[in-house]
Chains A and B, each alone.
Chain A
Amino acid sequence: MTRDLLLEIGMEEVPARFLRSSMDQLKDRVMKWLSEARIEFGEVEAYATPRRIAVLIHQVAEKQQDINEEVKGPSRKIALDDSGNWSKAALGFARSQGVDPEQFYFKELSGVEYIYANKSSAGVETASVLSEGLMHCISSMNFPKNMRWGAYDFKFVRPIRWMVALFGTDIIPLEICGVTASNVTRGHRFLGQETVVSEPTEYVAKLREQFVVADLEEREQLILAQINALADEKQWKIAIKEDLLEEVLFLVEYPNVLFGTFDPSFLEIPQEVLITSMREHQRYFPVLDASGQLLPFFVTVRNGNRHAIDTVAKGNEKVLRARLSDAKFFYDEDQNFPIADALAKLETIVFHEELGTVGDKVRRIRAISDKLAARMQADADTSKLVSRTADICKFDLVTQMVYEFPELQGVMGEDYARKAGEPVQVAAAINEHYQPRFSGDHSPASLIGAIVSIADKMDTIVGCFSIGIIPTGSADPYALRRQAAGIVQIILDHKLPINLTELFDMAMDIHGSAQLLKRNRDEIRIDLCDFFALRVKNVFTDKVRYDVVDAVMASGFDHLVSVVARGTQLMKVVSEQSDFKVTIESFNRVSNLASKADSIEINASKFVESVEHDLFNQHQAVHAKYHEALQAGDMAAALEQLSGLQDAITAYFDKVMVMAEDADVRANRLAQLHAIAEDLKLFADFSKIVWA
């Protein structure tokens, strides 16, 4: 026999960003408790609106399952005392299992006798345990931010104001913070009323009557359908950003979409500013035309019906007008603020207590950028542009617009720099030097932007590492992981022929000359290598098998372009050429023996077998071409050269006993293998490849 179960927790408006996880948590806790209490149940549904989270569980058994199991106790030796009575241990076991010692019996397990008992108890009525179980589910919930209210000693995400708890048609007695569970839920704050839910499956329908759409998917579809209808009608493109939609979904119980307009003269302000203001401040959806140009309209979602919707639209227009007037004011003011003045102000802003001001940081970025440009053999013009970009890349941080909208750093810098007559490449590179801004974002398009971006990021990473700020676990307050990943991405996208350690040294030299290196250089370098190794591994993700990644990384990842090309090529060969396993086995034999070599001198006159000459000649032939290919970054050719050694190696091992008794012969052979192993090592540690 089963009944349906409903638990609704009614609260004051829960923060939108916590709702989905709170709903899932309630659902998981109730399901987990039911399972642990041996109460069977069917399908589970969960609901959430700004004022409630709820879980509806179908077909909950009216009785717990009976327990019927055999339990094993202590061994006979321990269970009986000297006079053959039950020992304390045995009695304790009886107590803990709730069985009578009379019922013990002995059974042998792996040659030892133990006491056993049959434990059985009849399941109780579900109704008799629900109160305690659900109370436990609710009070054990936790949230990113908890609060207390009134005079209650209880923490929850927001104050609890009502509860509905039904098992079939029966109310489950629950009480928390003066709130007693009933079968009465509350409808929409303004449009709805209190309403009786007489049995759990009525829940969604009863709420709908009271202007609450409890089901998330239904609510989301309602919003999207209305937005799409409006877009069709007006021939608009309405830009729906996922996270904004998610937030809006949890700000309304009864969604109605409306639009408003703003003065087209505001379109003079850069689109990014308008869009950010609409999205971040007002949770509006911006409206674009077919070509992606912003139109002077916005779309918002009311928590209510369509009554007096013009008033709502007008009110929102008024708010937006004030916001955009502010933005316009900042935009105009900022343009009257010379870049030189902004740079002076950077000298007063602390970047980090131990690493100086933003002004200091900018000087370091400039120094690293100049070194990097020289290393990249940038031409004179490019070098000049790099220097200028580095000098002014942070000036927009002290503009009013970026103060108001920190996420527009770089975007405003580009706009203002262009208006101030800076070269267009410099303006663009100011914006680019923040790229990639997030995982999946693109790299700076220009070399100038790439250089300054690397310099900025490497300066932050090296500075932090030098004062002991190294990301651990989830603690990464300066987003160093993202910045390191950014550097890796830029080097690969621009195929920059530079070693990571060179970059480390450039940044460390500059920190050193400013007396900012608080730790030993070698220690910092080791930490940096470990830190970057993980970022480099992430580049391969699922394209290259982990053992192949380990193999090529073991040969060094200092040169990123090389390690990625080697990894990709090796993966291709390993997966496409079934006989490559034999080649690698021959490589591994060479490398294993080569590790025994004491001398590296090969003396061809000491060869005994003709296959020794063959291998020597073959290696001579391959060696130069192999190095050429490596130099040129042609990893397919490089690997092909190495593979060309395989026949000679196989023939060699067939005929030659490397560990010959004659010490000279032996040393000469080992030296030969060592020479080959050295070449192999430049590509990968092939012994790391795992064969299924």
Chain B
Amino acid sequence: MNFQQIILTLQNFWAEQKCVVVQPYDVEKGAGTLNPMTFLRSIGPEPWNVAYVEPSRRPADGRYGENPNRLYQHHQFQVIMKPSPDNIQELYLESLKRLGVDPLEHDIRFVEDNWEHPGLGAWGLGWEVWLDGMEVTQFTYFQQVGGIETNPVAVEITYGLERLASYIQAKENVFELEWVDGITYGDVFLQPEYEHSKYTFETSDVPMLFQLFNTYEEEARKTMDQNLVFPAYDYVLKCSHTFNLLDARGAISVTERTGYITRVRNLSRQIAATYLAEREKLGFPMLKKGDV
């Protein structure tokens, strides 16, 4: 099964489970969790089921395309279901079967792994899913998002697509994965991997990045004062990515680090609270009658 088929299969499967299949969000981010379709929509009483691919940028993980397992940008397949269905583990295992992973041929385990994102004021409990010893999925019941207790609880399933594909296609090197017939992952992503790594570690304009961080932060704050949650959140994402670039460059000392994370967290918390208030003003439109 090629990379593209893996994505299509997962999309179809979760669409069958009544998930809204949306497209990747167009602002740089480190993980699918930061997509507003997850971060914001996990908050509040409205039911929400969504699935999407998320290209995720981790500047510090860039290796110039030379490491077979580490990438500046990798792909996650993200599923959110709120409230978490009672048979969610069975649904997940069914999705693996669709990908051709027969549990009887493998060793599949749910190994405790709790998730915390201080920058988002978010944490949850769950597992990493092991496929013959390889972590292929993160499985998390959100307990708190943006400093707000989740109620009902959303469950997040994050497939690591490259890892899953390298297992399914029995490839050692991520760049040798088959994206579609005749086109490899390397054909599509090797050059950007190299260039982004070089930019991140060698040529990025550090003073400009610091200035950007401050500018984005200020704009986020101003926008939030207008109760415009979604645009304000876009600027928080930009802050977060800019911080990641600076961090990867080694431009932020350990002491300063906490300060920057706290700044991003304060913004996230404020946005989460404003989002909830705005949805309430709208009367939580996605709540069906009788759900309240």
Contacts and interface: CB of A to CB of B under 8 A. Distances in A.
Interface of A: 12-13, 15-17, 50, 145, 147-151, 158-159, 161, 178, 189-191, 251, 282, 300, 302-304, 307-308, 311-312, 314-316, 318-322, 325-326, 329, 348-350
B84 A149 contact: yes
A320 B155 CA distance: 30
Contact of B112 (A17, A189, A282, A325): A17
A319 B104 contact: no
B225 interface: no
B168 to A, nearest CB: 11
Contacts of A190: 103-104, 108
Contacts of A315: 106-107, 131-134, 167
B153 interface: yes
B254 A329 contact: no
A322 B155 CA distance: 29
A151 B83 contact: yes
A417 to B, nearest CB: 23
A449 B127 CA distance: 41
Given A282-B133, A316-B132, A321-B172, A178 B86 contact: yes
A191 B104 contact: yes
A354 to B, nearest CB: 12
A505 B133 CA distance: 53
14 contacts: A13-B109, A13-B111, A16-B111, A50-B110, A148-B141, A150-B152, A151-B152, A190-B104, A308-B105, A308-B106, A312-B132, A315-B107, A325-B68, A326-B69
Contacts of B95: none
B89 A16 contact: no
Contacts of B134: 315, 318-319
B125 A145 contact: yes
Nearest to B108: A190
A311 B106 contact: yes
Nearest to B70: A326
Given A148-B150, A329-B67, 14 more contacts: A16-B112, A148-B151, A149-B153, A150-B86, A150-B152, A189-B103, A189-B108, A191-B104, A303-B109, A312-B107, A315-B134, A321-B172, A322-B68, A348-B254
B226 interface: no
Interface of B: 67-69, 83-86, 89, 93, 103-112, 114, 124-125, 127, 131-134, 141, 143, 150-153, 155, 167, 172, 253-255
A362 to B, nearest CB: 15
A302 B104 contact: no
B67 A145 contact: no
Nearest to B155: A149
A300 B253 CA distance: 41
B254 A320 contact: no
Contacts of B86: 150, 159, 161, 178
B133 A316 contact: yes
Contacts of B153: 147-151
A149 B109 CA distance: 20
Contact of A349 (B107, B114, B141, B254): B254
B255 A147 contact: no
A243 to B, nearest CB: 15
A665 B236 CA distance: 91
A15 B108 CA distance: 15
B183 to A, nearest CB: 24
A251 B111 contact: yes
A325 B63 CA distance: 14
Nearest to A252: B109
Contacts of A348: 253-255
B133 A319 contact: yes
B141 A147 contact: yes
B287 to A, nearest CB: 12
Nearest to A321: B172
B210 to A, nearest CB: 17
Given A149-B153, A312-B106, A319 B132 contact: yes
A151 B86 CA distance: 10
Contacts of A300: 133
What 9 A-B pairs are tightest by C-beta distance, nearest first?
Answer: A315-B132, A15-B112, A151-B152, A13-B110, A316-B133, A190-B103, A308-B105, A151-B83, A319-B133
Contacts of B133: 282, 300, 315-316, 319-320
Contacts of B85: 150
Contact of B104 (A151, A159, A282, A308): A308
B292 to A, nearest CB: 12
Contacts of B127: 13
Contacts of B150: 148
A194 B196 CA distance: 52
A311 B103 contact: no
B172 A318 contact: yes
Nearest to B131: A315
B107 A149 contact: no
A311 B143 contact: no
B107 A302 contact: yes
A314 B67 CA distance: 21
Nearest to B171: A318
Contact of A149 (B93, B106, B131, B141): B141
Most buried by B among A50, A147, A150: A150
A12 B89 CA distance: 8
Given A147-B125, A147-B143, A315-B131, A12 B110 contact: yes
A314 B18 CA distance: 36
Most buried by B among A151, A307, A316, A325: A151
Nearest to A349: B254
A191 B105 CA distance: 11
A307 B104 contact: yes
A261 B150 CA distance: 45
Contacts of B112: 13, 15-17
Contacts of B253: 348
Nearest to A15: B112
Given A145-B114, A322-B68, A350-B255, A251 B109 contact: yes
